[in-house]
Amino acid sequence: MSTVKVERVWPAVRPEKKLSATTLTGRNGILQRYFYFAMSLLLAAIVVAGFSRTINDNLFHPAIPRPFILWIHAAVFAGWVILFIGQSTLVRVHKVSWHRFIGWFGVGLATVMVPLGVATAIIMARFDDVQLHLSDAYSFLSVPFYEMLAFAVCIALAIYWRTQPELHRRLIFIATCGLMSAAFARFDYVFDHKLFYLCVDLVILLGVARDRLVDRRVHKVYLQAYTACRCRGACRHGSCDRPDGWGTRRRTAGENSSHKAVCCGESAEAASLPMDGNNTAHAQG
């Protein structure tokens, strides 16, 4: 008589995965993998939210038509935003070869942005002086000049260190944040209390916080950026009593206080978004 051995089979139960601090901030955690991609979306949201408040009155349907260069400026800087998001996305989906190839287009775009930003600032200052009759139109040109210089230096270093993602991505991030002052200044409360540069610094501090949580130390790039911020503050205070980053100022009561005059481009900060020259596969978007 044959016997059948019956084994009791228990259902396989997989342990539930809990979202731990290591999952969020550890190596290869969510913060490490998605921080720069999330920042690209945040900066784009800041630009859209800020300029949507004034772009209709100051660019699309102004009482006095703006110079054509302002449209070019807006398109180019908006293209930088789109490029930054696209490059971050390519890194996230591990299309690093595409990321590197398109990055050279970003080099060309950044090369155009710097002289275009300076030229737009000068032309719009003249427009404010001649067309809008603003007596202090030229008084804060040093602000956009400094911001374009800082952007150029950060991008040049990012290109030079494109094979070192730890340096490259932080330089791109800082360069982009530095162009956000005009977008922040479109918010009345921020403008009235002169908080636009503080807002820029707070966004950069998100990168510092990311380093502390993931790497347990702050990268030296941020320490150098602090020095640049001090220089920017000196430039701001020495140029104009009420600058707002990219040469926008609130008009006096006689100049229609409900609007803001634009000195360097309605979409100036529109963007800043990086190209990422030649990042390696583990570079983060």
Domain ranges of the chain: 31-261
Give the span between the Cα atoms of 179 and 117, in whole angstroms: 11
Residue 137 burial by CB count (10 A; 0-12/13-18/19+): exposed, middle or buried?
buried
Tell me 253's DSSP state.
G
Residues with Cβ < 8 Å from 229, sequence gap 6 or more? 197, 201, 204
Mean pLDDT of 71-89: 91
Q: With a cut of 70, say whether residue 234 has pLDDT above it.
A: no
Residue 95 burial by CB count (10 A; 0-12/13-18/19+): exposed, middle or buried?
middle
Contact call for residues 242 and 101 (beta carbons, < 8 A): no
158, amino acid identity: A
Q: With a cut of 50, say whether residue 221 has pLDDT above it.
A: yes
Residue 33, CB-side half-sphere exposure with 13 Å CA sphere: 11
64, amino acid identity: I
pLDDT of the residue at 26:
67
pLDDT of the residue at 140:
77
β-bridge mates for residue 261, sequence order: 249
Lowest mean pLDDT among 16-25, 59-68, 104-113, 263-272: 263-272
pLDDT of the residue at 209:
93
4, amino acid identity: V
Mean of all residue pLDDT scores within the chain:
78
Mean pLDDT of 18-42: 79
pLDDT of the residue at 272:
36
Under the banding of pLDDT at 50, 70 and 90, the label for residue 276 is: very low
pLDDT of the residue at 36:
92
Give the span between the Cα atoms of 175 and 76, in whole angstroms: 16
Q: What are phi and psi of 72, to 5 degrees?
A: -65, -45
Mean pLDDT of 7-11: 49
pTM of the shown model? 0.76
Mean pLDDT of 76-100: 90
CA 134, distance to chain mean position in Å, is: 29
Give the span between the Cα atoms of 75 and 121, in whole angstroms: 15
Under the banding of pLDDT at 50, 70 and 90, the label for residue 265 is: very low
Looking at the chain, the number of H-run helices and the number of E-run strands are 11, 2
Give the span between the Cα atoms of 168 and 263, in whole angstroms: 31
Residues with Cβ < 8 Å from 145, sequence gap 6 or more? 118, 121
Q: Compute how many other C-beta atoms are within 10 angstroms of the C-beta atom of residue 206.
A: 15
What are the pLDDT digits (tens) for 114-170?
A: 999 999 999 999 998 888 888 777 877 888 898 899 999 999 999 999 999 989 999
Percent share of the chain, pLDDT over 70: 72
pLDDT of the residue at 169:
92
Between 46 and 267, name the one with better pLDDT. Answer: 46
Between 252 and 219, name the one with better pLDDT. Answer: 219
What are the pLDDT digits (tens) for 172-191?
A: 999 999 889 889 989 999 99
Q: With a cut of 70, say whether residue 112 has pLDDT above it.
A: yes
Under the banding of pLDDT at 50, 70 and 90, the label for residue 250 is: very low
CA 46, distance to chain mean position in Å, is: 9
Give the span between the Cα atoms of 212 and 28, in whole angstroms: 15
Q: What are phi and psi of 179, to 5 degrees?
A: -95, 10
Give the span between the Cα atoms of 65 and 252, in whole angstroms: 20
pLDDT of the residue at 227:
75
β-bridge mates for residue 260, sequence order: 250
